[in-house]
Structure 1
Amino acid sequence: MWEEDGKVSPSPSTTSTMRPLWLLAALLALGQALPFEQKGFWDFALDDGLLMMNDEEASGAESTSGVPDLDALTPTFSSMCPFGCHCHLRVVQCSDLGLKTVPKEVSPDTTLLDLQNNDISELRKDDFKGLQHLYALVLVNNKITKIHEKAFSPLRKLQKLYISKNHLVEIPPNLPSSLVELRIHDNRIRKVPKGVFSGLRNMNCIEMGGNPLENSGFEPGAFDGLKLNYLRISEAKLTGIPKDLPETLNELHLDHNKIQAIELEDLLRYSKLYRLGLGHNQIRMIENGSLSFLPTLRELHLDNNKLSRVPAGLPDLKLLQSSQHFQPLDSRQPLQPHSTQYSPTAPHQASTFNPPPSRGPGLNFLLLMQERSL
């Protein structure tokens, strides 16, 4: 290490030692479509470089080059690093510093900016000015209540925006058209207006659970134009499956709501669903035939509801597995053919059904875990 003008830079030996480690670690994924887990600086840093190219190709977002950007994999030691932050490669980490505003002096070639766990309350018009190469922006666990309508305008290549655990009462306006993934759970959002996602043709993942959203909060056409693969609206105040969600959905998670019934038309348009999460609701009734509209369904979670029967319409349902905890589907107990009776006998008992492989594609497992009061 050496110092000049109060700044510390890595020695050449340190750089040569770390470079192979960074290149190997770049094989790990930053933002798979999974429930949000707060990440630290190194989790985001490890995603720089090649993964940006992979996400651009997978999402259909425009790539800036037909070959990997070798410059993005090469350590850069810019003199521009905000006071107190850690800067390495093209990653700037300014988390856990008690910041009240977005720091200045962020290098224009920054691709990952980590500002989580601070006290930022507002995003102003020029906070991200000049950051045209920014790929991921992490603002989790701040105190943001206000976002200027042009705050994100400079971020023409932004693909991942993590702005969960703030004090937002509305979805930010004018999100970048390049955006692929939006994590905005655990805010105070009560309304999803029509047009708020307009122009987001690359978006494939939205996590918006933990907001006080009711069914009436979704304006007709709120999701028009989106081609989402993944949507989570768990831990909200839904009493039914929201209408007019994107038909392209592969995963829909509505766990921990107040849904009471699944009616015939609720799932009619979601023929591409692979996973459906409805656990921890108040479901007493699933109308016959409502699940028959889901030919590609492989996972159905109905744990901790008020069902007394296995829902009808599941493909060739013949096998049952019961255990205190969910187990892999390789030790199964046969049921009588087409039996639909379900009777939990112990706390946390899980019943998992699997169709025989000889009948072709079908449900891989159905989780019906019910927790008894003691």
Structure 2
Amino acid sequence: MAMMMNDEEYYGSGFEEESKPSEHPTCPFGCQCHLKIVQCSDLGLHWVPYDISPDTRLLDLQGNYITEIRENDLKGLTNLYALVLVNNHISRVHPRAFLPLVRMQKLYFSHNQLTAIPKNLPPSLVELRIHDNQIKKIASGTFLGLDNMNVIELGRNPIKNSGLAPGAFDGLRLNFLRISEAKLTGIPTDLPYTLRELHLDHNQIQAIEVGNLVQYVELYRLGLGYNRIRHVEQHSLHYVPNLRELHLENNLLNSVPTGLPEMKYLQVVYLHSNNISTVDVDAFCPHGFGMKRTFYNGISLFDNPVKYWEVQPTTFRCVNDRMAIQLGNNQKK
């Protein structure tokens, strides 16, 4: 709920526009209704209540026992802005269930039993969080028509690379995508080119290869922690010149990835808990008179077998402050 209310700077709160008050305002039994917000969480409900006021802007149904969203469950809720269905047992959504929701911008569907992205999502949708379901495949054209999307959270679904059909993300101009705790073995190469943040942590990715990041030139944050990455191919980071943060912690790297000194805007690099044994004097900073637009404010190298007393101080000559460096001896457990 806090996430939903604190991102007004990106796409507005959605509650500014007043709608005509209902002549006969209703509130489902056991729910709490106030200022067009209907809260029916943790009531043991098995179905969506039938008597929800058409003026409702936020409908909270989390923590119930709902198993299905039927065709007419949301009928008449044309003013709905946000729908919270987290922590239910939903495995089926009728293909026409969301058609009445012509103004809905936020849909929270995490912790359910869905096996596919629901069909006919409202074109007005901005944020979709469908974390922790049973989704294995995303079909081609799943998000067609969703021109206003900003955030998609798909973490903790058993998605493999083969489960991302060609064209699955066609039509999206997306800023944030998370597919963490899935079954990816490589960086998907057919995601929206507009991405600013891509989080693929806790997967089975083994390498960053040339061509993996070609179309993601807008990225400023890339999360690849907790994978099995042993190798970052030379020049593979060349295609993300605007990157600010790179997370490669808890992998199997033997050395600092090449190409970091050429990344003029890179500020944060997480490399802790790898197998890095040496750090070259030019591992992070441009050689000679090379220029870096922004200095580092965070480099983590702890929990690596590197002998920190052998690292030359000039290695961190383009770091903003010495406190930004986290470097320590490898600790045996």
TM-score under structure 2 normalisation?
0.80
Tell me which residue corresponds to 1:81. 27
Q: Secondary structure at the match of 1:267?
A: coil
Match for 1:338: what amino acid?
A: D
Tell me which residue corresponds to 1:134. 80
Alignment of 1:133-152 (within 5 A): 133-152=79-98
Instruction: Choose between structure 1 and 2: higher helix proportion.
Output: 1
Tell me which residue corresponds to 1:208. 154
Alignment of 1:1-374 (within 5 A): 30=4, 51=8, 56=11, 68-69=16-17, 71=18, 79-316=25-262, 337-339=281-283, 359-361=292-294, 365-367=298-300, 370=303, 374=333
What is the deviation of 1:253? 0.2
| Residue segments in structure 1 that go unaligned for 5+ positions in a row | 1-27, 34-50, 326-334, 341-352
What is the deviation of 1:218? 0.4
- State whether residues 246 and 270 of structure 2, in contact with CA within 8 Å, keep that contact through their aligned partners in structure 1: no
Q: Percent identity?
A: 54
Q: Secondary structure at the match of 2:136?
A: coil
Measured in 2, the distance between the counterparts of 1:130 and 1:319 equals 49
What is the deviation of 1:210? 0.1
Q: Secondary structure at the match of 1:164?
A: coil
> Which piece of structure 1 moves more, 308-317 or 230-239?
308-317
What is the deviation of 1:366? 4.8
- State whether residues 299 and 363 of structure 1, in contact with CA within 8 Å, keep that contact through their aligned partners in structure 2: no
Instruction: Give the aligned length.
Output: 298
Q: Secondary structure at the match of 1:154?
A: coil
Q: Secondary structure at the match of 2:185?
A: coil
- State whether residues 247 and 270 of structure 2, in contact with CA within 8 Å, keep that contact through their aligned partners in structure 1: no
Q: 1:324 to 1:307 in 2, by over 3 A?
A: closer
- State whether residues 271 and 300 of structure 2, in contact with CA within 8 Å, keep that contact through their aligned partners in structure 1: no
Q: 1:32 to 1:206 in 2, by over 3 A?
A: farther
Measured in 2, the distance between the counterparts of 1:362 and 1:225 equals 36
Q: Secondary structure at the match of 2:211?
A: helix
Measured in 2, the distance between the counterparts of 1:288 and 1:177 equals 41
- State whether residues 156 and 177 of structure 1, in contact with CA within 8 Å, keep that contact through their aligned partners in structure 2: yes
Q: 1:85 to 1:368 in 2, by over 3 A?
A: farther
What is the deviation of 1:359? 2.4
- State whether residues 268 and 297 of structure 2, in contact with CA within 8 Å, keep that contact through their aligned partners in structure 1: no
Match for 1:96: what amino acid?
A: D
Q: 1:200 to 1:132 in 2, by over 3 A?
A: same
